[in-house]
């Protein structure tokens, strides 16, 4: 009886071992593939933080297209804080890490990224790059280089339009301060567009050249002491849109009770009177669709550059504070009004 019990136990033990070997694939010690490994890794080079909402739209659209962050795709976001040296380092770091795609935000960041991916197989998509065919980001809007595409803005048209809108808000305005970094790629084009419109409107441009954000406040004060101006227009360079630069302009505008004209929609929430430009979330969503095509096409596609439609955003609270009565037609055409 004892021998029979042992025999039954031995058979049961061998059965357990056999089932274990079957479940693990026998004696094969090969590692199983990691099923939750991300499919793509996207390096996001943010030129200056004020444009971070573009990233929100970019991620949101990828999610709606079925990509799960952390599983199907990883977004590695790095902020250059307006420094072109940082843009260069971050772009080169992404290339060294062999990311699957780089998404650059601002003209400076896009130029740095283009130089970094030159001769590589890493595709590049960009946003907030004004006149990219004139600044060197791409050779052509309709036939850009393989593996490079994005969303561009027609700088000369929309920046001059801001002066026209200023006169609708403040008909007596005759002089506008434009602090700017003359070394930034799009600034010559921006000044060209402003000059053309200001001549037609008989408006004076007070050009204040700066090399770093810390120079903006003193530059404004010096210029104002020589010839007072009626408004400040934020220019499309990363030096003036650096948080320090923006705060300096906002402080000066508040102290002198003059309007601040935004260059980015979210500057409206921070105290600017109005903005005439693209919607950041919408732009991010548009770029994500181009990025998806690049990723699925192995980065060798030629995709024409898309354009964005500008919107008018108004901060009525700031207008009330400045004693500005907004014409009803402006409120009707505005895409957003902050009360």
CATH number (domain holding residue 146): 3.40.50.2300
The residue segments making up the domain with residue 132 are 40-154+279-309
Q: Is residue 9 part of a domain?
A: no
Are both 65 and 198 inside the same structural domain?
no
What angle is formed at CA 261 by the lines to CA 128 and CA 283, rounded to 5 degrees?
Answer: 25
Are both 215 and 189 inside the same structural domain?
yes
Are both 199 and 316 inside the same structural domain?
yes
Are both 131 and 196 inside the same structural domain?
no
DSSP characters over 295-326: HHTTT----PPEE---EEEEEHHHHHHHTPPP
Q: How many domains does the chain have?
A: 2
Are both 164 and 146 inside the same structural domain?
no
Q: Is residue 25 part of a domain?
A: no
Nearest to 333 by CA among 199, 164, 195: 164
What angle is formed at CA 114 by the lines to CA 130 and CA 111, rounded to 5 degrees?
Answer: 40
Are both 118 and 85 inside the same structural domain?
yes
Q: Is residue 48 part of a domain?
A: yes
Pairing of the two strands 73-79 and 175-180: unpaired
For residue 159, give every residue at least 6 positions away whose Cβ sits within 8 Å of its Cβ, in sequence order, or none: 190, 193, 194, 236
Nearest 10 degrees: CA dihedral of 100, 106, 112, 115?
70
Q: Is 159 exposed, middle or buried (0-12, 13-18, 19+ CB in 10 A)?
A: buried
In DSSP terms, 73 is beta-bridged to 40, 69
CA 180, CA 252: separation in Å to the nearest integer? 15
CA 307, CA 33: separation in Å to the nearest integer? 42
pLDDT of residue 16: 40
Cβ(126)–Cβ(150) under 8 Å? yes
Are both 240 and 105 inside the same structural domain?
no
Joined together, the tokens standing for residue 299 give: 């980065």
Residue with tokens 């008909």: 171
In DSSP terms, 74 is beta-bridged to 41
Are both 196 and 288 inside the same structural domain?
no
Nearest to 165 by CA among 324, 338, 281, 280: 324
Joined together, the tokens standing for residue 14 give: 């061998």
Q: Is residue 34 part of a domain?
A: no
Q: Is 156 helix (H, G, I), strand (E, B) or coil?
A: helix
Give this prediction's pTM: 0.84
pLDDT of residue 155: 82
Nearest 10 degrees: CA dihedral of 66, 67, 69, 72?
140
CA 39, CA 62: separation in Å to the nearest integer? 13
Are both 245 and 131 inside the same structural domain?
no
Sign of the dihedral defined by the CA atoms of residues 73, 78, 79, 85, in that order: negative
In DSSP terms, 336 is beta-bridged to 313
Nearest to 164 by CA among 200, 213, 129, 210: 200
Are both 105 and 120 inside the same structural domain?
yes
What letter does residue 212 receive in the DSSP assignment? S
- CB count, 10 Å around CB of 204? 14
pLDDT of residue 228: 97
Q: Is residue 3 part of a domain?
A: no
For the chain, 339 residues long, the average pLDDT of each consecutive 10-residue run is 42 41 40 54 96 97 96 97 96 98 97 96 95 94 94 86 96 97 95 95 98 97 97 96 94 97 92 94 96 87 88 96 96 95
Q: Is residue 5 part of a domain?
A: no
Are both 254 and 297 inside the same structural domain?
no
Q: Is 90 exposed, middle or buried (0-12, 13-18, 19+ CB in 10 A)?
A: buried
Are both 285 and 329 inside the same structural domain?
no
Q: Is residue 91 part of a domain?
A: yes
């Amino acid at each position: 009886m004892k021998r029979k019990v042992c025999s039954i136990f031995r058979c049961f033990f061998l059965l357990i071992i056999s089932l274990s070997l079957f479940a693990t694939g026998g004696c094969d010690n090969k590692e199983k593939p990691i099923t939750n490994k991300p499919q793509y890794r996207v390096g996001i080079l943010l030129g200056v933080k004020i444009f971070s909402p573009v990233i929100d739209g970019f991620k949101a659209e990828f999610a709606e297209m079925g990509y799960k962050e952390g599983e199907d795709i990883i977004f590695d976001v790095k902020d250059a804080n307006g420094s072109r040296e940082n843009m260069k380092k971050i772009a080169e770091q992404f290339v060294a890490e062999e990311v699957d795609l780089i998404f650059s935000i601002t003209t400076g960041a896009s130029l740095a990224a283009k130089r970094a991916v030159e001769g590589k197989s890493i595709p590049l998509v960009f946003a907030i790059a004004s006149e990219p065919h004139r600044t060197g980001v791409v050779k052509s809007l309709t036939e850009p280089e393989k593996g490079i595409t994005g969303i561009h803005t027609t700088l000369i048209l929309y920046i001059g339009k801001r002066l026209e809108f200023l006169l609708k808000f403040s008909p007596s305005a005759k002089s506008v301060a434009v602090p700017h970094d003359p070394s930034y790629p799009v600034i010559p084009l921006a000044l060209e567009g402003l000059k053309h419109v200001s001549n037609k409107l008989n408006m004076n441009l007070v050009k204040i050249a700066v090399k770093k954000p810390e120079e903006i406040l003193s530059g404004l004060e010096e210029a104002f002491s020589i010839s007072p101006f009626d408004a400040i227009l934020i220019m499309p360079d990363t030096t003036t849109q650096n948080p320090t630069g923006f705060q300096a302009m906002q402080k000066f505008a508040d102290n002198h009770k003059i309007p601040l004209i935004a260059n980015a929609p979210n500057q409206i929430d921070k105290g600017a009177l109005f903005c005439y430009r693209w919607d950041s979330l919408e732009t991010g969503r548009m770029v994500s669709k181009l990025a998806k095509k690049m990723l699925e096409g192995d980065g060798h596609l030629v995709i024409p550059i898309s354009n964005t439609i500008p919107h008018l955003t108004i901060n009525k609270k700031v207008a009330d504070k400045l004693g500005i009565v907004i014409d009803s037609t402006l409120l009707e055409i505005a895409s957003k009004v902050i009360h």
